[in-house]
Structure 1
Amino acid sequence: MVLTAVRGALGFLTRIPTGRTDEAWTAFRETPAAFPLAGWVVGALAALPLAAPAVVPAAPVPVPTVAFGYLLAVYAVTGVNHADGVADLGDAAVVHGDPERRRAVLKDTEVGVGAVLALGLALAGLALGALSLARLPPVAPSSAAVGVPTAVGVALAAEVGAKVGMAALACLGTPAFEGLGSAFTDNSPTSLVAPGLVAVPVALLGVPALAALAGGVAVALALLSWSRSALGGVNGDVFGAANELARLAGLHAGVVAWTLS
């Protein structure tokens, strides 16, 4: 059941060709732990460019190139569907009115100024976070229990944190209307325990990684609170935006934690 759910999660959340079946999709919907399990896979693949300085120290790769490689890896693995959620919520956020009016904007196919600004800020923030990560020393801090490069640990934790945040939406959120959001929100709040347990190994990656995990989850919970008041609940755009914004917040939180340690 769990393996089938993870296959469904990878098929839905990434461009990895796992094959899409009704069985895998149903298992994914009913297994919130599949979100962070898939996050470990996505994070490991996206962090590969960040491991280059540690793997080949004799042939250093320029920092901006490493950072750009991380950006390319993120979207090569995950695609752009989640970024569409950032754009749609950006348009909805600038609308004055009640939740019904904002929900109407979510379904509008036109791209407004709010979408352009939100997506631009998100991409700029991710790029700056990647650049900061690429500048970190390749050796993990002494607080880490495993010899994982600092940047790789933070990138891994940020991805897992983003997926735990999505699991939180699935377990704590209510649907704004029938659609993708309602497909996930049948899970109970107690179902959030399993995703939390899946994220526990992040502690082995050190304090910056824990900060990245916490930062990502915090942003997802903040977005859940905003969506309840602004939209009347969550939908597919909220899930997608939570994934992108939580990753972004996780990267910066991890770098700040390393700087202060």
Structure 2
Amino acid sequence: MVLTAVRGALGFLSRLPVGHSERAWDAFVGTPAAFPMAGYVVGGLVALPFLAAGLLPAPVVAAAYLGAVVLVAGVNHADGLADLGDAAVVHGDPAERRDVMRDTTVGVGAVLALGTVLLALAFGALAAAGLPPLVAVALVLAAEVGAKLAMATLACVGRPSHEGFGSTVINGNSPRHLVGSLAVALPAAVVAVPSTAVAVLTGPLLALGLSGWADRRLGGVSGDTFGAANELTRAVALHISVATWSLFGGAWPVPLVDWEVLAWTLS
């Protein structure tokens, strides 16, 4: 059941050739923990370019990371961010904002939202590429798990605005289901605390704020809100984790491995 849910999650959250089936989809929407589980797979793949940190120029590594994100994760979630950006700049009631989100025309709000998040992600990747390779991989992985944990949080605490993907995932789930998602995300959080911990925790915190905003402005959470939460969390979590590492460093919760020495040895 769990593996089926993860396959369903990867089929929706990535472009990986895992196939699509109704059974996998049903298992996925009924298992919020499948979001962060899929985050490990996606995060591990998009973090691979950072193994070359120190060997290749940082801009090359950062560009390879951005390319990997597009190749592995696709652009579906970016489309949600664009729609939410257009809705955010509209003056009107929730119904009018939802109408704007359904419009296929790209407005200034979408351009601003996509441009800002893309630039933030690029600069975050550039900063991560200046860290020891294994540290950078750990932070990027944690940011991706945090992004998927943000979506799991919306699935557990959100209120759907209308029938669609949002209502399909939210209905049947409750805040108590978030415990399983947090437990799944724990390994990514403790790899190099506190840096990886803040990356993972960015997900649920941002999701709670976004859910409140969506309730007020959109009448609830939609599929676009899920996509926007993923894109926003990835960029914000990467910046926060890099900044935390720069300020405080990181260590295993049990002093078994010196990450900096190990990364220097392997590089």
Work out whether the TM-score is over 0.5: yes
Q: In the alignment, which of 201, 206, 226 is matched to residue 193 of structure 2?
A: 206
| Residue 35, structure 1, aligned to residue 30, structure 2 | no
Q: Counterpart of 2:9 in structure 1: which amino acid?
A: A
CA offset at residue 216 of structure 1?
Answer: 2.9
Q: CA RMSD in A?
A: 1.0
Distance 2:40 2:149 in 1: 11
1:173 is displaced (CA, Å) by 0.6
CA distance in 1, matches of 2:191, 2:207: 23
Residue type at the aligned position of 1:240: G
2:164–2:222 CA contact under 8 A, matched in 1: yes
Instruction: Verify the 8 A CA contact 1:216 1:248 in the aligned structure 2.
Output: no
CA distance in 2, matches of 1:206, 1:134: 19
Match among 235, 241, 244 for residue 254 of structure 1: 241
C-alpha distance after superposition, 1:88-121 (max 9, x if no partner): 0000000011111111111111111111111110
* CA distance in structure 2 between the aligned counterparts of 1:23 and 1:83, rounded to whole angstroms: 26
Does the 8 Å contact 1:4/1:24 carry over to 2? yes
| Cα distance in structure 2, aligned partners of 1:150 and 1:206 | 11
The alignment status of 1:239 with 2:215, answered yes or no, reads: no
TM-score computed with the length of structure 2 as normaliser = 0.90
1:53-83 CA distance string (max 9 Å, x none): 3xxx6xx111100011111111110000100
- Which residue of structure 1 lines up, in the alignment, with residue 257 of structure 2? none
Q: How far does residue 246 in structure 1 lie from its aligned partner after superposition?
A: 0.6
The one-character-per-residue Cα deviations of 1:14-45 (angstroms, maximum 9, x if unpaired) are 00010000000000000000000000000000
For structure 1, the residue ranges without an aligned partner over 5 or more in a row are: 139-148
Matched, 1:67 2:65: no
The reply on whether 1:123 has 2:118 as its aligned counterpart is yes
Which of the residues 172, 193, 199 maps onto 2:179? 193
Tell me, yes or no, if the aligned pair for 2:138 and 2:191 is still in contact at 8 Å: no
Bigger mean CA deviation after superposition, 190-199 or 202-211: 202-211
TM-score normalised by length of structure 1 = 0.92
Query: What is the CA–CA distance in structure 1 between the aligned matches of 2:81 and 2:238, rounded to whole Å?
Result: 17
Give the SS at the match of 1:205.
Answer: coil
Deviations 1:225-245 (A, max 9, x none): 111111011111000000000
**Which among 146, 152, 171 is matched to residue 161 of structure 1?**
146
Amino acid at match of 1:230: R
**2:90 counterpart residue number:** 95
Q: How many residues align?
A: 246
